[in-house]
Amino acid sequence: MWVYYHLIATVFAGTQMAEIIEGPQWEARNWSIDAGEGSIHDDATASSLGFRGGTVAGDVHMNQFVPVLLQVFGFRWFEQGNLSLTFRNATVDMETVQVFAEKPGAGIRQTRVWMERDDGMLVCEGTAAMGDHSTSALRVRDLRPCDPAELKVLARVTPGMSLGSYDVRVTPDRQFELFDALLISDPLDFYRTGSHWGDVIACPSTIVQQLWGIPMAGLRPHLGDVVGLFGAIEVGQVSGPMVLNRDYHLESEVICVGQSPKTEYLWFDTTAYVPGGDPVATMRMMLRFMKSSSRLYDADPA
């Protein structure tokens, strides 16, 4: 049985006092360190783009938040909770990180959460909530679309475009493999040996891998040879949890396309439904694509 612990510190915000719940420190692992050339998780590729090395994926970090969220919201977080994060600074394999959450006051159903590296560098920040997800960090964010004529990598991607409908069976094999290899940060027995919902449930990274990875089949034909990375992710349970070894129907749609000085990006939503029934889980994601990794941004030889 895994044992969880937390430390509670008191901090001052102006004249108000807020309790901060601290999770344990973990050495986050780059699950895709052997992905090879062309992946942001590959040391050589990431270094060529200005990163310190192959990056740890954001969904890996999301697993580390769950025990702290259970301290805040209880086990119903798996049924109606969400976690909404923007990634600020990339980490590399084996760097030590720690999760923090403000303890909300009585009756408050949303709170601020964040992760720091052991030297204080902010890794990600956002909100976690129970019930209503409409005011989460990513749901209220200004998505900032741009003039479509300015886009090169995502020139063929438009808001409202479907990334497809998929009927899938979410199997436990990959989650069990990661659990057994001690690669899931702050793991719960629910992810391996069953839960009081009757079966093994999906950890956040498994939800992301399904609700991001499968709809990518609808995006890849519109992309060239370009390196992508997660900019922000929200996972939410609507009538959860997502139970493994079950069938689900996925619907995915682009909601915004834009750019920054170094990247082009798209936002998209995916929802997992019980076949013919109600939504179980949702994901909102911002995918960034490095301009410097695309031949479309090569200097004009003239």
Residue 141 counted as domain residue: no
Q: What is the pLDDT of residue 68?
A: 97
CA geometry: angle 67, 234, 77, nearest 5 deg: 40
Q: What is the pLDDT of residue 237?
A: 96
Q: What is the mean pLDDT of residues 135-140?
A: 97
Residue-number span of the structural domain to which 259 is assigned: 7-132+147-297
Q: What is the pLDDT of residue 11?
A: 43
pLDDT at 154 over 80: yes
Identify the CATH number of the domain in which residue 93 sits.
Answer: 3.10.129.10
pLDDT at 95 over 50: yes
Proportion of the chain above pLDDT 90, given as a percent: 72
Residue 161 counted as domain residue: yes
Residue 2 counted as domain residue: no
How many domains would you assign to the chain?
1
Cα distance between residue 18 and residue 14, in whole Å: 10
Per DSSP, 297 falls in state: G
Beta bridge partners of 284: 234, 269
Q: What is the mean pLDDT of residues 31-37?
A: 59
Residue 286 counted as domain residue: yes
Residues 6+ apart with CB under 8 A from 66: 77, 186, 188, 203, 204
Q: What is the pLDDT of residue 263?
A: 94
pLDDT at 133 over 50: yes
pLDDT at 81 over 50: yes
* Average confidence score pLDDT of the chain: 88
Residue 88 counted as domain residue: yes
The candidate with the shortest Cα–Cα distance to 125, out of 87, 98, 95, is 87
Cα distance between residue 179 and residue 186, in whole Å: 10
Residue 1 counted as domain residue: no
The candidate with the shortest Cα–Cα distance to 271, out of 89, 122, 82, 125, is 82
Residue 245 counted as domain residue: yes
Q: What is the pLDDT of residue 141?
A: 96
Q: Give 226's pLDDT tier (boundaries 50, 70, 90).
A: confident
Residues 6+ apart with CB under 8 A from 150: 259
Cα distance between residue 285 and residue 141, in whole Å: 12
Residue 140 counted as domain residue: no
